[in-house]
Amino acid sequence: MLDVLRHRTYRRLFTAQVVALVGTGLATVALGLLAYDIAGEEASAVLGTALAIKMVAYVTVAPLVEVVAHRISRRTLLVTMDLTRATVALALPFVTQVWQVYALILLLQAASAAFTPAFQASLPTVLPDERDYTRALSMSRLAYDLESLFSPALAAGLLSLVSYNWLFAGTTSGFLASAALVVSCVLPKPAPQERGTRGAVARATLGVRLFTATPRLRALLALDLAVAAAGAMVIVNTVVLVRHDLGRSAGAVSVALAAYGAGSMLVALLLPCVLDRVGDRAVMLPAAFALPAVFAAYGIATLAGPSWPALLAAWFTFGAACSALLTPTGRLLRRSAAPGDLPAAFAAQFSLSHACWLVTYPLAGWLAATAGQPAAAWTLGALSLVGALTATLLWPARDAARLPHHHPDLPPHHPHLASAHATPTGFRRTHTHTYVIDELHRRWPHPYGAARG
């Protein structure tokens, strides 16, 4: 899998991603300590609001940035967002009011919401080979998992030497290093966007329309809901399950989260070889059904009371299944959008997937607090089952890239119809090519025959 690092541009982009993630992890720890200094016992409310602001920024900003992103180079956009994040991180130690924390977090997460989809959309152009791109997706998954394990440990070590304010300096350094690495790359020029005379609203909603019109992307959104249900159970409720229900130490919380990360990393390492042999659908749908199965097994195993081994096994399996669902996402997006529309597709995926988290985060916390952890687990498990079943119904079993279709709205001599041939009845001119939603193809062909573009 490490062979993909032989690509010079990708190697620098991957390093930029890693150092930025480490900086983000340091900021997460430091922000909690800052909130406690400012708000005291109300720190949890401050952090909860900050998390909600983060999700709202992720859901709303990414599609809006796409309106203007095509007018500037992708490298300029990435560097500008890194510098913006570095500036915000540098300002955070000097805030004295809660509203200032909220304002800076909004700016920080808005910059991240612009940076991440643009970064993800760059990888298919840097690595046009499907095999290399698949390995790059697994490397990115590993980077996220390692960050969740490494950054808290690094923060703990630094806090034994310096005050938490210096962690923000580490965050700033990470974003500046990321900007420098991106500057050193020569990114391929993105493909031109074929959007005709569409205005700003059409450009902002293009990614969402790709999702609503493409069956495999509608299925992907349902899979995002299943991932968000399992992820919210882990992220929101682990600390209560470990500390309160099981009566274990704070260190056990890290062990439980590490079990989730270990499962995710294991699958990320194995998945490239699997995807070389089988399709995305054959990997992702079984992984989706594994999530409600784990919820059910965990619920049954804890009927008599909380169980530490059951929690570790469930969290490990959650991590493995979520990794199997998240890692191939980029492959689906690349198959489902024209090269010029990839930024819009990635922006929509970023926004819509976080909309799922915006639902499951409060649901997990509210259910656990009011009805108890078992009710939260069973409800989130049911939600993950709905996601898995919906994805199965929406994703055609025969998901061919090349589809026959015709264009009754185009004149017979239109250049796009150069390869078209008359049907036996002679009333339609049908042709077959790799099918994506774009200016000439506004709806998906009927699965049982050639349909209009």
List the CATH number of the domain containing 292.
1.20.1250.20
229 plus 165 within the same structural domain: no
385/166: higher pLDDT:
385
DSSP classification of residue 340: G
Mean pLDDT of all residues belonging to the chain:
84
Does residue 4 contact residue 136 with C-beta atoms inside 8 Å?
A: yes
Q: What is the Cα–Cα distance from 223 to 280, expressed in whole angstroms?
A: 12
Whether the predicted pLDDT of 453 surpasses 50: yes
Cα–Cα separations (whole angstroms), residue 46 to 36, 90, 324, 440: 9, 20, 33, 48
Rounded-to-integer distance, Cα 427 and Cα 54, Å? 54
Q: Which helix (H) or strand (E) is 226 found in, with range?
A: helix 215-240
User: Is the separation of the CB atoms in 145 and 151 below 8 Å?
Assistant: no
Res 80: pLDDT: 93
**Cα(129)–Cα(133) distance, integer angstroms:** 6
Q: Is 288 helix (H, G, I), strand (E, B) or coil?
A: helix
Rounded Cα–Cα distance for residues 329 and 134 (Å): 10
Report residue 220: phi and psi, to 5°: -60, -40
Residue 194, pLDDT above cutoff 80? no
- Domain termination residue (choose one: 380, 397, 414): 397
Are residues 44 and 113 located together in one domain of the fold? Answer: yes
Whether residues 211 and 340 share a domain: the answer is yes
Q: For the segment 342-372, what is each residue's pLDDT rounded down to a tens digit?
A: 888 888 898 899 999 989 988 888 888 888 8
Span 297-342, pLDDT tens digits: 999 999 988 899 999 999 999 999 999 999 999 999 988 888 878 8
Task: For residues 149 and 183, state if they share a domain.
Answer: yes
Instruction: Give the whole-angstrom CA distance, residue 50 versus residue 42.
Output: 13
Name the DSSP letter for residue 63.
Answer: H
φ and ψ at residue 31, rounded to 5 degrees = -65, -40
Q: State the amino acid at position 443 in one-letter form.
A: R
pTM of the model: 0.83
Q: Are residues 300 and 410 in the same domain?
A: no
- CA-wise closest residue to 106 among 29, 144, 51: 51
pLDDT, tens digit (0-9, with 9 covering 90-100), for 125-135 = 888 888 888 88
Closest CA to 88 of 15, 27, 18, 179: 27
In the chain, the number of structural domains is 3
Query: What letter would DSSP give residue 242?
Result: I
Give the per-residue pLDDT at 152. Answer: 66
Q: Do 78 and 137 belong to one domain? A: yes
Looking at the fold, whether 327 and 432 belong to one and the same domain comes out as no
> Domain of 378?
196-397
Verify that 382 and 419 share a domain, yes or no.
Answer: no
- 445, two tokens: 């062909």
User: In angstroms, rounded to a whole number, what is the distance separating the alpha carbons of residues 61 and 194?
Assistant: 22
19 and 149 part of one domain: yes
Cα 437 from Cα 330, distance rounded (Å):
17
Q: Which residue has the tokens 């687990």?
A: 377
